[in-house]
Structure 1
Amino acid sequence: MSRYHSYINSTKEILTIYKGDEPLSSFLKKYFSANKKFGSKDRKQTSNLCYCFFRLGKVVMNTTIEEKILTGLFLCSNESNEILAALKPEWDEKCKLPVNEKLLIINSSLLIQDAFPWKEELSEGVDHEKFCTSFLIQPDLFLRLRAGKEKIVIQKLKQAGIDFKMTSETCLALPNPSKIEEIIELDTEAIVQDQNSQRTGEFIEAEILDLKQKNTGTELFIWDCCAGSGGKSIMAFDIDPGIKLTVSDTRESILANLKKRFSNAGIKNYESFVVDLANKSAIRNLQSEIIIADVPCTGSGTWSRTPEQLYFFQERKIKEYAVLQRKIVSNAIIQLQPGGSFIYITCSVFKKENEEVAMYIKETFDLKLKQMETLKGYEKKADSMFIALFEKEL
């Protein structure tokens, strides 16, 4: 048996065992650790085949699992591949063709739109076909350069021979994966943060500047109520280091990780507490002028990075998350000062999590909806996100 058939068989074994209960990257790391027979190249090839399989999402093919793996590899490859060259040479010759032409070559009823069968659930303006095609492409790794560190980061990347392109004055796009943690000081010099996540900073900055103009001479209180890894908080701090920052999340372990990251980022003066906003409001009177609610969601705007989540996704989850999001915002908004800003963010493309929650906030709490926008990443090798800005009348 050739090593190429061996790669396919190993992939089939993994796909039989893996049930989507943890990130595929984490599962593969454990699997290879327990199976020492895999060399470096074996691990790389087998991992890639697994990801290519999951990038087909919900596409149903009346064929063998081996054929589906090779189909995924063909559609995801834009240059010659040694596995295809050995097992499907007629496909390998056509790797550089556009996806729509490759689909004709495969000669099946496969429609790439079937990868994501919830077209009617999409937020307004999301192009279903382009979104589905984006699942076949590995997104870029994005860095947000911190103030005063721009030159040193670029210098270090050039010295290490890392390819990158600047998408803005503070945003770099790098091929994924790039082991930048060995080259730059993460969180001190630059933040790993998706391009559209960085774009939400433009909206946050506008709100900070607006409130500072209205309330000159006073400190600005910002509450990041679903802080997670803290990317939005660090961004707010970089916009205005003088803010009074409070962060919260559902588990102490999240806040412990946040503490380490904030330390690296130079954030020392902040408050933190554990709260499950799905069940109760904050245990203290915060009366924040800006509340950032980057809420838990399906993560559907990020599935190009984690295609296994697309493959295992169940439609009922959309409603479950929408209900959760309404509970969270309901318990957070009561802490918003008159004249303050409420910033609602998801990394979802589902309207039930996006526009419909925005309308719920507007109508239930009598907040002024200043702006809402879907930040499309599927043509930029980036995540897709949604943001809505609200103002509480004085």
Structure 2
Amino acid sequence: MQDLEVGTEQFTDEDRLYSGSRFRDVVDALMANRYQKVWGREGEPPLPQQETTIKTVFGSLFSRGKPPRFERASERTLDSGADLRWGPDRRGFTRLLHPTGVGLIGRWEITEDTPYTGYFARGSNALVVARYSSGAGGNLRGRIRSMALVGKLFPTTESDHATPLRTANFITQEDIGGTRTEYINDAVLRNAPDVTVFRRGPAGTLLIKVASVFSRVDQEPTIRQVYPIAELGKPPGQPTRAPAFMQLLVAPGQSRIAGADLDVRDEVMAHIFDKGDPVPKRALTFTIEVTDEGNTSGAPFRVRRTFQRWRRIGTMVFDNAAISYNGDHVIHFTHPTWREDRNDPATATRIDGTKVR
């Protein structure tokens, strides 16, 4: 079997020259090259499936001498702020983890008083492009899966703004080892998820190798701090104040989508569309909750986190979506590098593409 075609994984001039994006350009990219021109319409092709294994992530055992692609990809996700990575052939890149997903378009709104800065402050409204995906055992209901929602906030409510804007990205996920969550309504998506390696069985070796690389190129492999949101739109002289933890939950009252062996991408789409109809009919709403109180315990192979005083401060409402090649291969979400003090940029692990601590 040949190695997976991975495209341009490493940091390139396209990443280096990034200076912001227009929301409309990112949305247009997401909506193009859909696997099904109209989701769920009779006669449309099946959605692609991509297995994630040690070989697809790290390459063949016989690939000595080749660049360590997962390490280069991990560095790039930390160092590149690019929102779109087309590559020289306009085919983008391959996500080595969570390779298939569904793109979402909507709005972020903070409605409650908070002590935080940037777009965690009350009254903040931003446009959002996000991606919902499933890791671990694949996309189908009934398997061990690890749901994830990543997104990027544009500091505007004007969908056709002319000036490119830098975005703030977030990463949230269920237990990285996977769970048996049946419905997205029940998934608890956190920037600091639990880790249960043994749930993967023999595939747990992949998680161990991934964590080793993340620790080597950054520091903390299982927490993605949310300071980029707290610094978005913040006056330069104002000290950053970011929550330590964020969790996203499907809002109470959101319908449940039934179906044995249902693909999570179809489940997400069904919250917004009727099958075979290209016009959005409903919205998918997530609540935004934060806290500064949490503790981590356990061994590296079984990490447990406990939290106190979660507080709901706002919502994300998605009213459009697409399952597309570009959503899987072109749209890029930056992973924030670890800071010893989440509110102090000087304590960052990586600065200007180099690991400094």
Quick check: TM above 0.5?
no
- TM-score under structure 2 length normalisation: 0.24
Structure with greater contact order relative to length (CA < 8 Å, sep ≥ 6): 2
Q: In terms of Rg, which structure is larger?
A: 1
Structure ranking higher in strand proportion: 2
